[in-house]
């Protein structure tokens, strides 16, 4: 585990005025360049965990912290103000909470200026991100006048433009329609392939997340219940169901086949794999009977 | 499709916003008592505009919307909302009172029911959505999103509309909350006889609950039929960048093995699997 970028040790957080722990004794290591999916019911601590990674917690919230959160080997609270945010960018589930500028273009440029990038560099990244997230028609509009889905795309673009080493996306597609949602996941897939960013996505929409995620994390009631490579993670379907996480239909179908002894425990994570598996199982069964 | 009288008839409906944007062009449809429909389509396809025409919030630019024999053009909104209720996508856009009781009572008071009937309606609506009395004095904003949505639905129910339109009932809800809200709508449909219309992007939810699907694109109805048939129309779906549920897609890819391309659920898929391999 040489390239661990995030290390969380015995970490608990309790918001002021709350009688329960929002996160309870979390231990977790995340390697550089991995794509991590975080799932769990509402209220399970996913957003709290995201905020803890760029020191918004404890920085902007009152509460009691126990344990430590390290980014690049340094405790998040030990970073000078603004330093950590160069490495860790968070896209909030409520995009309005991150907007500060009067036009979408200014919104995108704001973060890059803060990083002290040169004007040619800013121009280049602006073009890249505008094209990538398809924002051209919105550039001169005020961020508060565009639709919820458009806001969400601007919020994503603003963080992408800063190219932080670690990107944390909190339900980035909750307000998007299916095509925009697909497009966001295509962008993430491209980042994963071409850049070496560490990408952490909190998401309810598992169908899009599963094919991309290297590892998955399940949180429930503030506890880390399960953390594993995606393939292994979904071998625990009874546990997931018990925690009210419902896997996509195809995974559930193959899990039922596995339970009945018709499929092996390696469940297909993509439609292509599912199709191939199913053809194989049926052909073997039918030919086997004939022989 | 049905020889009973439609509850809603939409006849050559056109709607243009005041800024000139054409939102609906030549919509024709009938909605019958007891149906469970889904409106699907991309953002901006006209789903919400159509819904607001159905409850009289928007009046047609051209054409007619007839609800329970009343033409929305010359029927006061007070009469319309007693027949068709619309639950906003974001309950926070709808809730504005300081406690749940007043919130639910707002509609009945607004249509000038006597206070004893208001009380009866609030209690009935709260009971249906499973909101117990201890919540009546709570401020809606301090409730969870799921509970706020229930308050929003209760405030519509209190008007006892025949048709209830719910805009994106599962957005932002986790899996368990989504199932709870959908099972609740199913109960309103099956046990209390309400006609339910959901507007959603969640295709597995459509497959599981809606019996009829209306596909919209660019202000037009592109397809309107029972759920199984519509999910087979891959041309129309891909035109609007919609995909049937994953399990339906798997069945369609494996149709040559004997799976039906209009499979909707995991259970149906399993049943067919056992038939194909010859096991009962």
Q: Can you tell me the distance from the alpha carbon of A124 to that of B153, in angstroms, rounded to the nearest whole number? A: 48
CA gap B79, B87 in Å, rounded: 17
Cross-chain residue pair B245–A249, CB shorter than 8 Å? yes
How distant is the alpha carbon of residue A258 from its chain centre?
29
Sign of CA dihedral B157, B159, B165, B170: negative
Q: Is the pLDDT confidence value at B1 over 70?
A: no
Helix (H) or strand (E) holding B249: helix B246-253
Chain position carrying tokens 């585990």: A1
Is the Cβ pair B145, A42 closer than 8 Å? yes
Give the closest residue to A41 by CA, choosing from B180, B174, B169, B179. B174
Q: What is the pLDDT of residues B50-62, one digit of tens each?
A: 999 999 999 999 9
Band (pLDDT 50/70/90 cuts) for residue B2 is low
- DSSP for residue A171: S
pLDDT at position B161? 92
pLDDT at position A291 over 70: no
Asked if residue B130 lies in contact with residue B181, where contact means CB atoms within 8 angstroms, the answer is no
Task: Count CB-CB contacts under 10 A for residue A260.
Answer: 12
Q: Work out how many CB contacts closer than 8 A connect A with B.
A: 90
> Closest Cα partner for A133 from A156, A110, A116, A111?
A156
Model pLDDT for residues B195-205, shown as the tens digit of each residue: 999 999 889 99
Q: Is A278 on the interface with B (CB under 8 A)?
A: yes
Instruction: Name the closest residue on chain A to residue B239, using Cα atoms.
Output: A179
- Residue A198 three-state SS: strand
Bridge pairing between strands A198-202 and A215-220: unpaired
The stretches of chain A forming alpha helices (DSSP H) are: 46-53, 56-59, 84-87, 104-114, 119-133, 148-162, 178-194, 206-209, 230-233, 237-242, 249-259, 271-290
Contacts of A290 (CB under 8 A, 6+ apart): none
Contacts of A178 in chain B (CB under 8 A): 42, 201, 203, 241-243
Neighbours of A136 (CB within 10 A): 10
Chain B nearest-CA residue for A44:
B174
A280 to chain B: closest CA residue: B257
Residue B95 clears pLDDT 90, i.e. is over it: no
On chain B, the residues whose CB falls within 8 A of the CB of A180 are: 43
Per-residue pLDDT of B214-246, as tens digits, reads: 999 999 999 999 999 999 998 899 888 888 999
Interface residue A178 vs chain B (CB under 8 A) = yes
């Amino acid at each position: 585990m040489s390239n661990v970028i995030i290390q969380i040790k015995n970490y608990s957080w309790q918001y002021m005025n709350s009688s329960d722990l929002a996160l309870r004794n979390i231990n977790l290591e995340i390697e550089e360049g991995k794509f991590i999916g975080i799932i769990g019911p509402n209220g399970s601590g996913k957003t709290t965990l995201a905020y803890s990674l760029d020191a918004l917690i404890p920085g902007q919230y009152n509460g009691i912290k126990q344990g430590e959160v390290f980014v690049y080997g340094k405790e998040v609270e030990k970073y000078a103000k603004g330093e950590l945010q160069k490495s860790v960018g968070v896209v909030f589930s409520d995009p309005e909470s991150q907007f500060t500028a009067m036009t979408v273009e200014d919104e995108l440029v704001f973060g890059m200026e803060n990083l002290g990038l040169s004007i040619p560099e800013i121009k280049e990244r602006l073009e890249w991100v505008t094209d990538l997230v398809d924002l051209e028609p919105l550039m001169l509009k005020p961020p508060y006048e565009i639709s919820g889905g458009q806001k969400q795309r601007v919020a994503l673009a603003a963080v992408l433009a800063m190219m932080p080493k670690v990107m944390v996306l909190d339900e980035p597609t909750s307000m998007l329609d299916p095509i925009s949602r697909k497009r966001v996941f295509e962008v993430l897939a491209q980042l994963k392939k071409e850049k070496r960013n560490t990408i952490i996505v909190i998401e309810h929409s598992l169908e899009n997340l599963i094919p991309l995620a290297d590892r998955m994390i399940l949180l429930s009631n503030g506890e880390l219940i399960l953390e594993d490579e995606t393939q292994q993670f979904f071998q625990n379907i009874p546990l997931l169901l018990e925690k009210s996480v419902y896997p996509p239909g195809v995974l559930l179908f193959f899990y039922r086949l596995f339970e009945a002894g018709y499929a092996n425990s390696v469940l297909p994570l993509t439609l292509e794999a599912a199709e191939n598996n199913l053809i194989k199982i049926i052909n073997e069964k039918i030919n086997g009977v004939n022989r | 499709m049905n020889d009973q009288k439609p509850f809603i008839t939409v006849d050559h409906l056109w709607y243009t916003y005041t800024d000139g944007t054409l939102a609906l062009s030549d919509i024709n449809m009938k909605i019958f008592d007891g149906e469970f429909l889904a409106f699907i389509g991309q953002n901006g396809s006209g789903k919400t505009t159509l819904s607001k025409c159905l409850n009289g919030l928007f009046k047609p630019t051209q054409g007619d919307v007839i609800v329970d024999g009343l033409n929305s053009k010359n029927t006061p909104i007070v009469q319309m909302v007693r027949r068709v209720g619309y639950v906003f996508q974001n309950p926070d856009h709808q809730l504005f009172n300081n406690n749940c009781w007043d919130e639910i009572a707002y509609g009945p008071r607004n249509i000038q029911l006597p206070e004893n009937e208001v009380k009866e309606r609030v209690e009935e609506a709260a009971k249906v959505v499973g909101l117990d009395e201890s919540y009546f004095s709570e401020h809606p904003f301090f409730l969870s999103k799921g509970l706020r949505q229930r308050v929003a639905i209760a405030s519509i129910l209190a008007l006892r509309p025949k048709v209830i339109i719910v805009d994106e009932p599962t957005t932002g809800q986790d899996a368990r909350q989504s199932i709870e809200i959908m099972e609740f709508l199913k109960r309103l449909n099956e046990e209390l006889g309400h006609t339910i219309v959901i507007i959603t992007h969640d295709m597995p939810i459509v497959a599981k609950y809606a019996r009829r699907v209306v596909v919209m694109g660019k202000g037009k109805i592109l397809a309107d039929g029972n759920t199984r048939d519509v999910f087979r129309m891959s041309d129309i779906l891909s035109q609007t960048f919609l995909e049937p549920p994953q399990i339906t897609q798997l069945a369609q890819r494996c149709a040559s093995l004997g799976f039906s391309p209009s499979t909707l659920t995991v259970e149906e898929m399993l049943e067919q699997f056992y038939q194909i391999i010859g096991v009962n």
